[in-house]
Amino acid sequence: MSAGQPGGESGPGSRTHRAIAEVLESERLPGEHHRLLLRAPRIAEDASPGQFVHVWCHPPNEMDRPPCAAVLRRPFSISRLRPPDGVELLFRVRGVGGRMLANTARGDQLDIIGPLGHGFRMPASLRAAVVVAGGIGVAPVPFLLQQLTSALVETVVLVGAARDDSIPYRVERLVGVPATLPGLSALGAEVNFVSEAGDGVLVSDLLERRLPAFDAASTEVMAIGPRAMVRRIAALVGQRLPVQVSLEERMACGLGACRSCVVPVCSEGALGYKTVCHDGPVFYATEIAWERLDP
């Protein structure tokens, strides 16, 4: 099995592995979020930002004992790598599968496949990046920041949510300055946060205010979050800056075989379809046929 970078470029993440991963840490977070740290050395070695793992929510020894409460694997973005061989996942606890994973403890084992999909492209000309995340779309941002800052790319992170507790990070609000997320800003980027309940604006509004300040020759926007958000950002930025979007879609196999997660794309003026799990989840916004994509 193989995966690579958008556009078919080779690089980290070119190999996919199935692993029995040991749970190193399992932590409940505010706002019905959870953090898992898994020992998965081969996946950690080959992963790149924007990729995901497919997790079997039952214990590995129950793989051949149907019926199971969570029949399908669950896809989770790789949140960050923890040397020497840790893979961290952040997720909102929803449904039976999420609850099962949130009940795991240190020493438990999980059957996982990864890294899967195409991650974010890092072109040689990239000097600055604007990372825009909405809600639990913030989960893969730490891994992305690790790569951007290590490559000396000047990075601004804009995060939005419905409420302050809709993300798995502590929100810091001080009088006279924009709200921020100390857990992310500690990774070396400028981080601004807005919530609809607390600030009355969307993260796309925050991006719109700052767009004129970014150099079109050396800056790319990287958007992760709900479909309505990434669609809005693609329309807002238009042709001013390249925009990479990470799409969320329900998946079954995670390998591109079942084609349950196809999205419409434009290729040389012709309409086609690509799978989010294998061809994505990261695409350039200009690839997507937005008018044919369901809201």
Give the model confidence (pLDDT) of 39-55 as tens digits. 999 999 999 999 999 99
174 assigned to some structural domain: yes
Task: Specify whether 127 is located in the same domain as 199.
Answer: yes
Instruction: Specify the pLDDT at position 10.
Output: 34
pLDDT digits (tens, 9 = 90+) for 82-127: 999 999 999 999 999 999 999 999 999 999 999 999 999 999 989 9
Q: What is the CATH number of the domain that holds 28?
A: 2.40.30.10
Please tell me the distance from the alpha carbon of residue 142 to that of residue 169, in angstroms, as a whole number: 11
Q: What is the CATH number of the domain that holds 189?
A: 3.40.50.80
Structural domain count of the chain: 3
Task: Specify whether 242 is located in the same domain as 256.
Answer: no
Instruction: Specify the pLDDT at position 249.
Output: 84
Instruction: Specify the pLDDT at position 247.
Output: 95
> What angle is formed at CA 280 by the lines to CA 269 and CA 191, rounded to 5 degrees?
110
Instruction: Specify the pLDDT at position 252.
Output: 86
Cβ within 8 Å of residue 166, ≥6 positions away = 31, 135, 136, 195
Question: What confidence tier does 65 reach under pLDDT thresholds 50, 70, 90?
Answer: low
User: Domain range spanning residue 91?
Assistant: 6-116
Query: Which range is least confidently modeled, 157-171, 190-204, 250-264?
Result: 250-264
Handedness of CA 115, 100, 107, 66 (dihedral sign): negative
The pLDDT of 207-228, averaged and rounded, is: 94
42 assigned to some structural domain: yes
Task: Specify whether 129 is located in the same domain as 208.
Answer: yes
Q: Last residue of some domain: 246, 264, 284?
A: 246
Whether the CB-CB separation of 228 and 290 falls below 8 Å is answered with no
Whether the CB-CB separation of 16 and 115 falls below 8 Å is answered with yes
Handedness of CA 279, 280, 284, 286 (dihedral sign): positive
Tokens of 3: 């995966």
Question: What confidence tier does 251 reach under pLDDT thresholds 50, 70, 90?
Answer: confident
Instruction: Specify the pLDDT at position 72.
Output: 87
Q: What is the phi/psi pair of residue 278, to 5°?
A: -105, -50
The pLDDT of 131-155, averaged and rounded, is: 96
Q: Last residue of some domain: 116, 148, 164?
A: 116
Question: What confidence tier does 64 reach under pLDDT thresholds 50, 70, 90?
Answer: low
Give yes or no for residue 5 having a pLDDT over 70: no
Please tell me the distance from the alpha carbon of residue 162 to that of residue 168, in angstroms, as a whole number: 13
Please tell me the distance from the alpha carbon of residue 88 to that of residue 171, in angstroms, as a whole number: 21
1 assigned to some structural domain: no
